[in-house]
Structure 1
Amino acid sequence: MTDQETEFKRAQEYIQKAPSNGDTSNEDKLKYYAYYKQATEGPATGKRPGVFDLVARYKYDAWAKLGKLSKEEAMAGYVKTLEQSAPEWRKYFEQTTSKL
């Protein structure tokens, strides 16, 4: 596993496990979703969800906006979005590992 993949996995872990301050905007949530899907599945495929499933439609549109972004670029975008919304995220791992 590369350093970038390790950092991407840690960023995901932080988002899933760290205490939330409740400040994550819907726009940031869509960015995380889109970058994650791009990094794990590649460019958006399939048919765009219908008008009556707005949540799926917004998610698909956010993912499709990334176009042909590479896996590495998507992982970097995910981490960058986390750094903008929670710049202290790396400290979380320092604190949790020092308590063990």
Structure 2
Amino acid sequence: MHSLQDTQHQFCQALAIVRTLPDDGPLQPSATEKLRFYGLYKQATQGDCTLSPPPATNKIQYAKWKAWQTMKSLNPVQAQKLYVNLLAKLLLEFIEDHPEHDQYVEFLQYLQLDDLLPGN
């Protein structure tokens, strides 16, 4: 069981990792995952979306709005936990497919999620 402080620390660490993933690096979240990260981030940092939807013709802004709107009613701590879990899931899938990339194992350790590593 994690304390609120632990959750916030993990969330900040996860943000740092996601923000530093190189655009041309081996770990690339899908468009759907990127939108989920966006929606969870907005919910965790700003709460429920109160903005009017942008025109559907503005596909990028509409997709972002919808991703945030989908998270409505999650409290910020839940959104933080889901953000960390989404990153952990991506890292674990990558580690399973590319065990030679030790950097991603280090990311899980950095998030203090060592217990999720294969073999633990």
**Matched residues, percent identical?**
25
Name the counterpart of 1:33: 38
Q: Answer whether contact 2:88 2:108 (CA < 8 A) is retained.
A: no
Matching residue's letter, 1:10: Q
- TM-score of the pair, normalised by structure 2: 0.70
Report the number of matched residues.
95
- Identify which of 81, 92, 98 aligns with 2:107: 92
Relative contact order (alpha carbons < 8 A, sep ≥ 6): 1 or 2 greater? 1
In 2, Cα distance between the equivalents of 1:43 and 1:64?
7
Gaps of 5+ in 2: 96-103, 111-120
In 2, Cα distance between the equivalents of 1:75 and 1:92?
17
Residues 1-100 of structure 1 aligned to structure 2 (within 5 Å)? 2-19=5-22, 20-87=25-92, 89=104, 91-92=106-107
State the superposition RMSD in angstroms: 2.1
- TM-score of the pair, normalised by structure 1: 0.83
Gaps of 5+ in 1: 96-100
